[in-house]
Amino acid sequence: MGMLSDEEHASVVPARLAGSPTPVPTQVVSSDEFLPIPQTERQKKVEARMNALADDYGKANGLPRRRFFQTAAGMATAFVAMNEVYGPLYGASPAEAKSVDLAQARASALSDQFVMDVHTHFLRDDTRLEGFVRGREAVGKAGWNPTLVDKPQTIDDLKYPNWFKEIYLDSDTKVALISGSASEDPRDWFLTNEMKAEAREKVNKAAGSRRCLSHAIFTPGYDGWMDEVDKCIATLKPDSWKGYTVGDNTNKDLARHPWRMDDEKLVYPFYEKMLKAGQDIVCVHKGLYPPSTAQRWPHLTQYATVDDVGKAAKDWPQIRFVIYHSAFRWTGGAGANAKDGYAQFEQTGRVEWTSDLADIPAKYGISNVYADLGQIFAQTTVTEPRLCAALMGMLIKGMGVDHVVWGTDAVWTGAPQWQIEALRRLEIPEDMQKKFGFTPLGPADGPVKRAIFGENSAKMYKYEIKKAAWRDDRFAAIKSDYERAGREPSNLRYGFVTPT
């Protein structure tokens, strides 16, 4: 199950076992969709600096390292360490990192920010996507931690209760959209469409306000897929639709129905149907397809690119197409990763296939294509912050600042707070701004970041930020109790890292 072969699974350890619980991961974490890469030399340096600084600053604040990392100052410390190694990309000062009070004051001032995460996941209770558990079993067999063999319950970290905690309590996320993924094997859908709608109802009932949205997955070419669409329209009323053009992303060996977004015969009737039902948002997973994956499933590669986006968007101006992961290709894989993405950017000024996506609005004269950040942000922040800055620059330049939307792919990478902090602090280096004509990202609560964090999606989903009750609903009360009681973010990443 999953994309990692048995040998690959045997070679990775769960992120929670590797290294220290730093507030920002110091290794790339995979989500069973790609093979993570070993910790780079520079990441090793970052981790060592984070630990050393945390020991120093922790002592000054009377806190052991683990506890210090859970504070806002611990978070700031992580970015100070990253700046030391990668250059000053993140707004974080030693003064802030040193003082728990100062850091907390900054975090509290920003905690009210409207963050709408349109890309989150958890797994159904009866999931057999045991990739994560099998990884842990492999770890047990490898002798790193024999007790893991008997503790498959760690898959619970990928289920609803922990998703709820990490999204609504451990992060500043105000509204989350539950996504999913389909498979030719019905048992391997992350969640059925009913489950996503039920979870949305459960959350919104508990909150007493609209805190949760949900996707329905559409699967062109699958048996009875249009009947499923009809059923979703009639009963589940998804907030938007999500599709995977490779057909089956989870079990690529089973993929028999890849499709193109511009397939007039197969897919256009679906667009017509959803529009008739008053729905106008189609989200499509693209990218995350490094050369190693292309080698294994070459016949699916063309579907992972954005070749089909322009025509579809041009033909359907009433539909907003949101391209997930911004079609970023360079996720971990044997011999390819964000480093290669950065090398490609250095050499050519372009990054597959994000640059292609960023070209589409001008090339086709359209404005109904959007970019979701997803893994693009998580992955490049950890390994190549300069690439992260470059990608943000090119997406904003090509798509428009009002066409880039916040998604984190949590909880594969743990509570999304570190990603939120990373964007709040990130700035595009001046040399890069000049060379490529990128505009600055500006302050944490400035117009660019506010647009990306929530305003763009709020507009798309007709979510009235001002009128919404998220400031004083039941979740707001729960969160403030939780914080008063001393929040304990796990700082765990629930994917795998490759041990070194």
**How many residues belong to the site for Zn ion (CB under 5 A)?**
1
Q: Which is nearer to Zn ion, 114 or 412 (CB)?
A: 412
Residue 4, H or E segment: none
Rounded to a whole number of angstroms, the minimum distance from the CB of residue 475 to Zn ion is 23
Rounded to a whole number of angstroms, the minimum distance from the CB of residue 121 to Zn ion is 6
Q: Is the peptide bond before 411 cis (omega within 30 degrees of 0)?
A: yes
Q: Which is nearer to Zn ion, 54 or 167 (CB)?
A: 167
- The answer to whether 401 and 451 are in contact (CB under 8 A) is yes
371 beta partners:
323, 404
Spatial separation of the C-alpha atoms in residues 59 and 195, rounded to whole Å: 46
- The answer to whether 215 and 224 are in contact (CB under 8 A) is no
User: Which of 47, 409, 421, 473 is in the footprint of Zn ion by CB under 5 A?
Assistant: 409
User: Applying CB under 5 A, does 340 fall inside the site for Zn ion?
Assistant: no
Q: Which is nearer to Zn ion, 157 or 409 (CB)?
A: 409
Of 141-149, 190-198, 376-384, 405-413: span binding Zn ion (CB under 5 A): 405-413
- List b or e across 352-369, with b for residues whose CB sees 16 or more CB atoms inside 10 angstroms: bbbbbbbbbbeebebebb
377's CB contacts (< 8 A; 6+ apart) are: 388, 391, 408, 419, 422, 423
Q: Which is nearer to Zn ion, 39 or 380 (CB)?
A: 380
* CB-closest chain residue to Zn ion: 409
Rounded to a whole number of angstroms, the minimum distance from the CB of residue 179 to Zn ion is 6
Angle between helix axes 374-383 and 417-425 (nearest 10 degrees) is: 70
Q: What phi and psi values does residue 177 have, to the nearest 5 degrees?
A: -105, 130
Of 170-178, 376-384, 404-412, 470-478: span binding Zn ion (CB under 5 A): 404-412
Q: Which burial class, exposed, middle or buried, applies to 146 when counting CB atoms under 10 A from its CB (0-12, 13-18, 19+)? A: exposed
- Residue 463: count of CB within 10 angstroms of its CB: 20
**Torsion (CA) 349, 352, 357, 362 in degrees, nearest 10:** 30
Rounded to a whole number of angstroms, the minimum distance from the CB of residue 258 to Zn ion is 18
Rounded to a whole number of angstroms, the minimum distance from the CB of residue 212 to Zn ion is 16
Of 244-252, 337-345, 409-417, 458-466: span binding Zn ion (CB under 5 A): 409-417
Which residues, 443 to 482, sit near Zn ion by CB under 5 A?
Answer: none
CA-closest candidate to residue 238, choices 229, 227, 248: 229
The amino acid present at 465, given as its one-letter code, is I
SS3 400: coil
Q: Which is nearer to Zn ion, 248 or 409 (CB)?
A: 409
Q: Which is nearer to Zn ion, 172 or 409 (CB)?
A: 409
Rounded to a whole number of angstroms, the minimum distance from the CB of residue 162 to Zn ion is 16
Rounded to a whole number of angstroms, the minimum distance from the CB of residue 53 to Zn ion is 32
Of 72-80, 255-263, 401-409, 417-425: span binding Zn ion (CB under 5 A): 401-409
Residue 427 CA from chain centroid, whole number: 19
Which residues, 89 to 108, sit near Zn ion by CB under 5 A?
Answer: none
Of 17-25, 128-136, 271-279, 403-411: span binding Zn ion (CB under 5 A): 403-411
Q: Which is nearer to Zn ion, 53 or 283 (CB)?
A: 283
SS3 284: strand
Q: Which burial class, exposed, middle or buried, applies to 431 when counting CB atoms under 10 A from its CB (0-12, 13-18, 19+)? A: exposed
Rounded to a whole number of angstroms, the minimum distance from the CB of residue 146 to Zn ion is 32
Q: Which is nearer to Zn ion, 114 or 324 (CB)?
A: 324
Q: Which is nearer to Zn ion, 409 or 455 (CB)?
A: 409
Spatial separation of the C-alpha atoms in residues 44 and 382, rounded to whole Å: 11
Of 22-30, 38-46, 262-270, 406-414: span binding Zn ion (CB under 5 A): 406-414
Longest dimension (CA), the chain: 66
Rounded to a whole number of angstroms, the minimum distance from the CB of residue 380 to Zn ion is 16
Of 348-356, 402-410, 431-439, 450-458: span binding Zn ion (CB under 5 A): 402-410
Query: E-strand spans in 159-233?
Result: 175-178, 212-217
Q: Which is nearer to Zn ion, 90 or 321 (CB)?
A: 321
Residues that bind Zn ion (CB under 5 A): 409
